[in-house]
Amino acid sequence: MKRLIFAITASLITLASASFAEEVKIVGSVVKIQAEAGKASVVIKDNTSGKDITVTVTDQLTVDKLNDKRIATGDEVRVKYDTKDNVSKLFRKTAGC
């Protein structure tokens, strides 16, 4: 009986940890911006790996900045996003004042 409970508990812990997404931080330049209603899809070229990464921005303030061209193609940005669905948690320009 104890083995069965241990096996069930171990399998639940394994499944629960596999379902969590990894949070990744990158710095790179904006390659392409595609704005939609209430969200935007942004392609960023990572400075460290050189790969193009597509991130979905759902934060309304950041979407407004992308629409107003305050964040434009060629700008360097710092992004934190989940690898599970590529939705950004942080999207900021790296340039200072």
**Domains of the chain and CATH, by start:** 22-93 (2.40.50.140)
The per-residue pLDDT for range 43-92, each reduced to its tens digit, is 999 999 999 999 999 999 999 999 999 999 999 999 999 988 999 999 99
Q: What is the pTM of this model?
A: 0.74
Complete DSSP assignment for the chain: -HHHHHHHHHHHHHHHHHHSPPEEEEEEEEEEEEEETTEEEEEEEETTT--EEEEEE--HHHHHHHHTTSS-TT-EEEEEEETTT-BEEEEEE----
